[in-house]
A and B are shown apart, each in its own frame.
Chain A
Amino acid sequence: MAATQTDSRALTRPAGLISVAVPLALFGWFLQFLPEIAAGGTVVYRIDWVPSLEVGLGVLLDGLSLTFALLITGIGALVTLYSTSYLGGHRDYGRFVCYILAFMGGMLGLVLSDNLLSLFVFWEVTTISSYLLIGFDADRGTARRNALQALLVTATGGLAFLAGIILIGMAAGTFDISGIGEPLASHPLYLPIFLLVVAGAFTKSAQVPFHFWLPNAMAAPTPVSAYLHSATMVKGGVYLLARMNPSLGGTDPWFWTLVLFGGVTAVFASVMALRQTDIKQVLAYTTLMALGTLIMFIGVGTEYAVQAAMAFLVVHSLYKAALFLMIGVVDHGTGTRDARVLRGLGRAMPVTMVAAMLAALSMAGVPPLFGFVGKEFLYKAALDLDVGRLWVTGCAFAASALMFAAAGIVAWRPFMGKPADTPTAPHEGPWPMLAGPLVLALLGLALGIMPDLAEPLVRPATAAVLGVAAKVDLYLFRTVNAAFVLSLLTFAAGFALYLSHARLRAGLSRTPKLFDPGWDRLMDLVAAGSTALTGAIQTGRLRRYIFVTFATLAAVLSVALWRAEVTLAAPDFDDLRAKHWSVLIFIMAGALLTAFTRSRMTAVAALGVVGIGVALIFIMFGAPDVAITQLLIEVLQVVLFAVAMLKLPHLGRDMNTRPRAWDAVLALAIGGLTATILIAVMATPLDLRLTAFFEAASVPLAHGRNIVNVILVDFRALDTFGEIAVVAVAALGAWAVLRGTRGARP
């Protein structure tokens, strides 16, 4: 593991320095907005990006985005500081810094965007950088597989979200979040919009049944898990739902979907957390629990529930990042993360123990930590409900009790008791690795004792989610009420669960795994399907490709003709004189010879005759430029064919038997359809306005009398540039293919 390759000197090198300085500076910069946002203001800044599509790079800084921005930059600075030690000696440390800063930029863009389309772009930036970071140890097959799994699940959801965005744009007439304003609940498109947006949010925030990628994402280095897959990125879905709450929320489908899925995820994940032996996996599942809880309470949508969700969001980011970083220190100090092995580390790792205990107490919801405040407010919000009170309270209670037990497994057991044998002798980590967990854990304590400090952030965030101003009053303890009693019950239940967790784990580990193997089967099916499809379509026979191409063309033309309902007039042959007839006969003779000859060379030459006949037509009707080009192309084509075909075998009789009948049918169909379309085109009056414009403007505007060339190089120069780019690329492609044949030959 990378954990053993610590190198504290990385902090003084440019990559390490930049990786810490940038988020730190941004954190300070965002902090200066706190007074304005806390006073109820919002900062909106907008620059046009694609004006024709109404895509602006709008920035919307309100309570919700500021809360996220501070978490992203603040935890980001601590995580990158931690990484200078944890990964500083890694040979790809520079690459890591690139990825993590790219992610940070994407995540900040995601929470600050005021425009749904630019939000989507940043959404995908986080998906891709997450993919790169999970697969950071690219030498390991599991890391690559899990990275791809995370990418496919979240990117598929992302595409659904994009479809939802487009529908929102159609329904609301704008892509600006601040411009949607009116709730979309009564719009006929509401249900599809809602389902698509929820698909995006649920995959990103790993809700059941899309949860399986998140525990697998723990293949990433520990700082990445702490940062992306706990504190920030996976909360992207939560952010999205919170952000869309004013315009999409408050309906029955919203309430029940979010509450049911969130509740199931919270309870399922916290049960699964007890099953794990790897402490990092325990933390991954408790992260799922937190995400489920957040989504459940956003779905509930009352003022109290949203306030509780926002407080819990901050609580969770603080303690979970601290715990993830802590387990990285333990892994580094002992060489293992196995919960069954680790015991009695307290003496050797006192600072880590303090940080772990504080963070775990917050996770368990014990006073006076901030976690207690968060949990109390969740309970109060649940108990206040009219609809679904039993479900929400039950889920929150079960998840919290299980969380208490998980906290014991993660932070109490490894540090207490008699020291056990570990792969390496336990020792404390270097200071950059201790700073992060310690600062975050102490913040949890400080905010617990003085919850008022969090109000300037939680109040505007709640207001932003609700869409109206909110009264937020956070406190540690006031009176003994139902929520407090429920908390005491939680502790009792959690303690009981902790005491019996070894037996529970043994029992749970006998249950079969469903989702992850199912994913592998799905991937196998996709691979088998594409192999079969490729085999059916790519036969490797040029004749068949051409047949399919022209058959498709014939079908499309027939449908187009049928739909257009053209009226056909009999073509007028009276204008044709002897010279026209002779050229026509010339062309037809060439075409017939091409089709019926036995020799390839004759066919090529006869095809050239057809082309020259067409060039003659161009000359007769006064288009010398086109005629010259046509002539030259025909000559070149014959040369190219001749060179290539010298080496090909003669056209044998066997190749020309059965399929030829079908070839003839297809050829006649294409010819007939093309002729019909041309006759139909002749019947419609020609719009000569463009021609007139070019004739009139050619000399005064472009100083040229040859209209064809003036159009090519002046009026339509951009098109021509595209065409010559295609010509150049085609030549390079042909060259590469031909060179490839030489390499393949012995």
Chain B
Amino acid sequence: MTSLIVRAATRVLVGLLLVFSIFMLLRGHNEPGGGFIGGLIGATGFILYAIAHGCAAARGALRADPRSIAVAGLGVALLAGVAGLLAGDAIFTGQWLFLGGAEGEKGLPLSTILLFDLGVYLVVLGAVLTIVFALEEEV
């Protein structure tokens, strides 16, 4: 699986896929997208990299163990939930902060919802890559 075409295409595609996955994650609240889809697209990018350059290289590019990424994502999502608890609401109630909001203009919306979606993204990315890498290495 080390054809020149695949490797050359991968160089462009992986970057695009990863950017696209983050784009999907961020736009998810208003347009089709979200953490789940974003995580899957991100995983596809790394899988493509693994196909072109081998699993070890893909693991190196990922820098962290996919298992740690999945569990860290779970922690991030939980943190977003606990934030609601700390604010005095029920657990997992969204907390919003509109940076630079003014009359008629919402400003930059920051929320624990985004944090939660980021957690979903990381769990999906980590979980899929855990299984794919393990399969590719074992079988």
Contacts and interface: CB of A to CB of B under 8 A. Distances in A.
Interface of A: 624-625, 628-629, 632-633, 635-636, 639-640, 643-644, 646-647, 702-706, 708-710, 712-714, 717-718, 720-721, 724-725, 727-728, 730-732, 734-735, 738-739, 741-742
Interface of B: 28-37, 40-41, 43-44, 47, 66-67, 70-71, 73-74, 77-78, 80-81, 91-92, 94, 96, 109, 111, 113, 116-117, 119-120, 123-124, 126-128, 130-132, 134-136, 138-139
Contact of A704 (B29, B71, B130, B134): B29
Contact of B40 (A632, A647, A721, A725): A632
A702 B84 CA distance: 14
B134 A706 contact: no
By DSSP majority rule, is chain B's interface helix, strand, loop, or mixed?
helix
Nearest to A740: B138
A713 B113 contact: yes
Contacts of A712: 34, 36, 120
Contact of B120 (A640, A724, A739): A724
Contacts of B29: 703-706, 709-710, 713
Contacts of A720: 77, 116, 120
Nearest to A719: B92
Contacts of B35: 713
A644 B40 CA distance: 19
A162 to B, nearest CB: 30
Contacts of A702: 94, 113
Contact of A731 (B40, B81, B126, B138): B126
A734 B135 CA distance: 9
Contacts of B111: 703
Contact of A632 (B30, B37, B120, B127): B37
A735 B132 CA distance: 9
Given A703-B109, A717-B92, A735-B130, A625 B37 contact: yes
Residue of A624, A721, A732 with most partner-chain B CB within 10 A: A721
A739 B74 contact: no
13 contacts: A636-B43, A643-B136, A703-B96, A705-B29, A705-B30, A718-B91, A721-B92, A724-B123, A724-B124, A728-B127, A730-B127, A731-B66, A741-B138
B132 A643 contact: yes
Question: Which label, helix, strand, loop or mixed, suits the secondary structure of the A interface?
Answer: helix
A709 B126 contact: no
B128 A709 contact: no
B126 A625 contact: no
Closest 7 CB pairs of A and B: A731-B127, A704-B29, A717-B92, A624-B32, A632-B40, A738-B134, A709-B34
A728 B126 contact: yes
A731 B113 contact: no
A734 B41 CA distance: 21
Given A705-B30, A706-B30, A629 B37 contact: yes
A728 B127 CA distance: 6
B139 A647 contact: yes
A351 B132 CA distance: 74
A713 B123 CA distance: 14
Contacts of A718: 81, 91-92
Given A709-B33, A731-B128, A636 B120 contact: no
A428 to B, nearest CB: 59
B33 A625 contact: yes
A706 B28 contact: yes
Among A628, A709, A727, A742, the one with the most B-chain Cβ atoms within 10 Å of its Cβ is A709
Contacts of A703: 29, 96, 109, 111
Contact of A717 (B66, B81, B96, B109): B81
Given A633-B40, A712-B36, A724-B73, A739 B134 contact: yes
Given A640-B131, A709-B28, A709-B34, A728 B40 contact: no
